[in-house]
A and B are shown apart, each in its own frame.
Chain A
Amino acid sequence: MRAYLPAYEMETPRDLAAALARMASEPGVWKPFAGGTDLMVLLEAGKLPHKKFLNVWNLAELRGVEVSSEHVTLGALTTYAEVQRHEILAREFPLLCRAAAETGSVATQNRGTLGGNIANASPAADSPPALIVYDAEIEIVSAGGSRWVRYASFHTEYKKMNLHAGELIRRIRLTRTQAGWRQYFRKVGTRRAQAISKICFAGAARVEAGRIADVRIALGSVAPTVLHAVRVEELLRGQRPGSTVLQAAQDALNAEIAPIDDMRSTARYRRHVARNLLAEFLEVLAG
């Protein structure tokens, strides 16, 4: 059933400070509203629980991509389209650009934001695996101040995250240490555009003298949150990326993931494809 529109309020704060003051005035009541690609879908389905929103779409403090010698810092409102257009992101953080290119369609990419993708907290979201591989940090702000957290520990359980009433995601920081890393991204969905993933795999590794010196792996749609595959990483470090280690790594991955049957796929298919994607990643590292 469609939503009863007079029940929903939305205001446009004049700046970030005003937005945070409003959120602090009634903790948990006012929620930020960015590009609407998730929230408007819930509204139309009559399933949008919150009733009061702050339109943050035009807040300059949440926009823009800053580049320093050490970091690339993206405002929370950076859209998927902006991610793809950014030259340094394309060169140094290709997994994020691939994720952005494979999220929704052109129209979704023009409105969907990285901050929104994080705050929506879907385990099937496409940018989080890339953000985990790059060990992104996110700045969380409130009327009381600011704190930085490691993104890899931000989501705690299904749709739950380390974000309190009155807090808002301001920006996402990536450290520019990817030079020399081999990177791999693959989203498996019903079709290339629009489909939400059945499973999504992002991996990167530094290979020295034929051995995996360091490796980062994250998967979407295989657990209640986007999964950082730490046990697989531990097993792979120091190993040669060949067939010897493959079986053990696949078994470790199989033990680490907890996929479910849902409208998009089955647990069995997801487990099978997860093994295949890991094998393909190791082939990339060996090649």
Chain B
Amino acid sequence: MPKRARKIRVSCEVNGDAASFEAYPMTRLLDVLREELKLTGTKEGCGEGECGACSIEMDGALVNSCLVPALQAQGVKIRTIEGLAIHGSLHAVQQAFITHGGAQCGICTPGMILAAVNLLARHSQPDDTQIREGLSGNLCRCTGYMKIFESVVAAVRRAETRA
């Protein structure tokens, strides 16, 4: 029998709360989130970093959680779709996706919203090109993208009117 890796204990912060789990070092963070921490909002699409369905924020950076090994989650701050609403009040981008029909089957939606929220953290007033680039790593096979794009534009406008 070949030598087998042992499971390791990893401690990190998920959506503002301390989290700890056991996993093999190269278990995908995506699987840890869904199966160990029961945060099933993060979806698996392609499993090879092409589609963005598993997008999360790690220390403020957008990443594909299917490409992050569990070991590299040690000590990091993670934000998933479950961490966006505050006290039951939806994030402006989430609300815009509902109002403007940005979600259809829903598989790409958590990743799309995380990508949009991350874009707004980097560019509070993105122009159309920046929005398209910000969403370019996320694939949708239902809507044809325009309603998703319009949802993000609407969220930006809402932020502008409040500012």
Contacts and interface: CB of A to CB of B under 8 A. Distances in A.
A86 B146 CA distance: 32
A134 interface: no
> Which of B49, B74, B118 has the largest number of chain A CB atoms within 10 A?
B49
Interface string A11-47: 1100000000000000000000101110011011100
Interface stretch (B14-22, B33-41, B55-63, B98-106): B55-63
A111 B63 contact: yes
Contact of B66 (A6, A44, A110): A44
A7 B47 CA distance: 20
Contact of A57 (B72, B133, B138): B72
Contacts of B74: 12
A43 B5 CA distance: 15
A9 B25 contact: yes
Nearest to B50: A194
B159 interface: no
Contacts of B67: 35-37, 40-41, 111
Given A55-B71, A106-B134, A44 B5 contact: no
A254 interface: no
B15 to A, nearest CB: 19
Given A5-B27, A6-B24, A45-B48, A107 B68 contact: no
Contacts of B90: none
Interface residues of B, number: 34
A43 B26 contact: yes
A8 to B, nearest CB: 4
A6 B5 contact: yes
Contacts of B64: 107-108, 111
A21 B19 CA distance: 32
Counting chain A CB atoms within 10 Å of each CB, the highest count among B55, B118, B136 belongs to: B136
A10 interface: yes
B4 A7 contact: yes
A81 interface: yes
Chain A interface mostly: mixed
A221 to B, nearest CB: 18
Contacts of B52: 105, 107
A53 interface: yes
Given A8-B24, A53-B26, A81-B61, A41 B48 contact: yes
Contacts of A45: 48
Nearest to A9: B5
A105 to B, nearest CB: 2
A55 B8 CA distance: 14
Given A10-B25, A81-B61, A40 B71 contact: no
Contacts of B25: 8-11, 53
A264 B113 CA distance: 30
Nearest to A110: B61
A3 B27 CA distance: 10
Contacts of A160: none
Nearest to B111: A107
B26 A10 contact: yes
15 contacts: A5-B5, A8-B5, A9-B25, A10-B26, A10-B71, A36-B68, A36-B72, A41-B67, A51-B2, A106-B62, A106-B115, A106-B134, A111-B61, A111-B63, A193-B137
